[in-house]
Amino acid sequence: MLVMKELILLGNKIILSNRTIETENYKQTKTDNGLLQVTLDFKVSHEDYHEITTLLYKGVFDVEVPDKGLSFKGKIANYSTSVTNLYEKGNVGSFHLSLIEEQ
């Protein structure tokens, strides 16, 4: 996949189907066929683990990036997590998520 344009930000906010997520890293690109792709890293606590993973299992989201004025329907292109055991109270895991605009 060729990237035409890339925007990288530290600390941003993204909303996935009405759930606000504070990001640590945010990258916005356009694919060679003109589709928008956003990639983000964020932390998930033991307390938020179930809600976030249940949301991500849906696979398709209404995506909003308020600071960029973006709004689109997106699906998961890539998703990974740290090996942190989030079933243990007090633990925080790292999540990496790429969403691509649906045609």
Say if residue 13's pLDDT is above 60. Answer: yes
Digit-coded pLDDT (tens) for 45-90? 999 999 999 999 999 999 999 988 889 999 999 999 998 899 899 9
Quote the CA–CA distance of 97 and 55 in Å, as a whole number: 12
Asked whether the beta carbons of 64 and 53 are under 8 A apart, the reply is no
Q: How far is CA 61 from CA 18, 51, 84, in A?
A: 9, 14, 25
Report all structural domains of the chain as residue ranges with CATH numbers, in order of start.
3-101 (2.40.30.80)
pLDDT digits (tens, 9 = 90+) for 93-103: 999 999 999 98
**What pLDDT is attached to residue 11?**
57
